[in-house]
């Protein structure tokens, strides 16, 4: 299996599909394979290594979901409650469809944020809600280097003034819901999202390289970001979704949807904790019942998965719940997955998968704009892993 994965990575680097990538496979908590190829910094010939730090972008979302479910287990959040019960700025929302604006008939619930059926958009010029969301993110990025950067709480307040793209609960739409959940964690816990995650996850799991920023002494381990060009792969130094490229300061806007940086080994600790029912290294991090709800509950209502598959055609047979894909019908799956497989990926190509039925964890690290050709690559790797171990 390792040779097969090594060969795929080598070919991907030689073909210019990615500057560099690494892969970690665990089964029942034991390492089965680790592979790496290429560079994390092409210009300076710095190779991809096991301690390379990646910008996780949307692979942040499962961690945010775990934080919310932990607060549910403590009786501090109810998933069926209106968001406005905790954040009153969301008490009066408007729906805008085709330019027709009207008061929302339904309230956004916390659960709707967790399965992306809230109607809250990411930046998108094709809808009024998406256009207004773009203005919010533009404000965040415009103030990134000012003496008054936008905070997590301020982001949520600005977003509450954006129109929704549809009636809350009507359908799935990938959007900024996880960022609002990050603000909810702050509001309920009365601490920053960063401090909450450090205390409840990163410290007990010994995730020492996971944070919303990368300190100076670790900066050379942060992979460069690449995109395709006529002359081959080129570094793209861009701020995106309100996040600095360099990640060299603790951000005021701690994005629950995209903000974390981590290594493949650090994220494996989080994934292993989930597979082990909330325990890691003999320490209980989450109640077992909380983990069950996190990985099995909160899924989209029956029949509403089609919008998920319109976004990602390879997710046939999947639903979405608690900020993760979940394999519900393996008979319709387009890759080797089993019922109950869950995980998510990130804008730059990082990928996380847990297979509870087989005790398998798969992690993939790279930094390629928009995932690019690495989406196909990681699915090929997953098929190899499942063929060998499941």
| pLDDT tens-digit readout, 185-206 | 999 999 999 999 999 999 999 9
Query: What is the pLDDT averaged over residues 17-33?
Result: 98
Q: Is the pLDDT of residue 31 over 90?
A: yes
Torsion on CA atoms 141, 142, 147, 152, rounded to nearest 10? -40
Residues contacting 15, CB < 8 A, separation 6+: none
pLDDT band at residue 301 using 50, 70 and 90 as cut-offs: confident
pLDDT, tens digit, 9 for 90 and up, residues 93-134: 999 999 999 999 999 999 999 999 999 999 999 999 999 999
Structure confidence at residue 302 (pLDDT): 78
Tokens found for residue 116: 């992306």
Structure confidence at residue 104 (pLDDT): 98
Residue 37 host element (H or E): strand 30-41
Residue among 319, 226, 206 nearest 38 (CA): 226
Residues contacting 14, CB < 8 A, separation 6+: none
Length of the chain: 390
Q: Is the pLDDT of residue 303 over 90?
A: no
Report the chain's mean pLDDT, rounded to a whole number: 97
Q: Is the pLDDT of residue 307 over 90?
A: no
3-class DSSP assignment, residue 80: coil
CA 279 vs. chain centroid, Å, equals 22
pLDDT band at residue 309 using 50, 70 and 90 as cut-offs: confident
Query: What is the pLDDT averaged over residues 33-47?
Result: 98
| Distances 230 to 19, 153, 227, 234, 238 between C-alpha atoms, Å | 15, 41, 10, 9, 19
Q: Is the pLDDT of residue 305 over 90?
A: no
């Amino acid at each position: 299996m390792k040779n097969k994965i090594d060969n795929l990575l080598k070919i991907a680097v030689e073909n210019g599909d990615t500057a560099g990538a690494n892969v970690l496979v665990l089964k029942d908590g034991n390492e089965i394979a680790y592979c790496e190829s290429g560079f994390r910094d092409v210009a300076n010939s710095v190779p991809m290594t096991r301690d390379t730090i990646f910008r996780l972008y949307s692979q942040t979302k499962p961690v945010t979901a775990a934080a919310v479910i932990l607060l549910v287990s403590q009786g501090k959040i109810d998933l069926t409650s209106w968001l406005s019960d905790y954040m009153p700025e969301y008490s009066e929302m408007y729906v805008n469809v085709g330019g027709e604006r009207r008061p929302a008939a339904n309230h956004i619930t916390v659960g709707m944020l967790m399965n992306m059926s809230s109607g809250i958009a990411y930046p998108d010029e094709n809808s009024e809600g998406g256009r207004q969301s773009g203005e919010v993110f533009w404000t965040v990025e415009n103030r990134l280097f000012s003496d008054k950067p936008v905070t997590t709480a301020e982001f949520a307040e600005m977003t509450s003034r954006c129109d929704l793209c549809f009636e809350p609960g009507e359908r799935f739409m990938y959007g900024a819901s996880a960022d609002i959940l990050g603000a909810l964690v702050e509001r309920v816990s009365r601490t920053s999202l960063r401090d909450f995650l450090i205390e409840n996850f990163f410290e007990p799991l010994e995730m020492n390289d996971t944070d919303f920023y990368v300190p100076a002494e670790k900066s050379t381990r942060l992979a460069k970001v690449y995109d395709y060009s006529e002359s081959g792969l080129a570094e793209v130094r861009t701020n995106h979704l309100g996040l600095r490229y360099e990640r060299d300061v603790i951000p005021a806007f701690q994005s629950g949807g995209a903000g974390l940086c981590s290594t493949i080994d650090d994220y494996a600790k989080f994934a292993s904790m989930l597979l082990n029912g909330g325990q890691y290294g003999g320490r209980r991090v989450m109640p077992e019942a909380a983990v069950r709800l996190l990985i099995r509950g909160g899924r989209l209502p029956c029949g509403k998965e089609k919008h998920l598959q319109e976004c990602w055609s390879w997710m046939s047979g999947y639903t979405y719940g608690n900020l993760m894909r979940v394999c519900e019908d393996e008979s319709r799956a387009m890759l080797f997955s089993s019922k109950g497989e869950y995980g998510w990926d990130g804008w730059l190509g990082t990928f996380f998968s847990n297979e509870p039925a087989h005790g398998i964890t798969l992690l993939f690290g790279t930094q390629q704009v928009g995932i690019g050709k690495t989406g196909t690559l990681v699915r090929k790797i997953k098929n190899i892993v499942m063929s060998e171990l499941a």
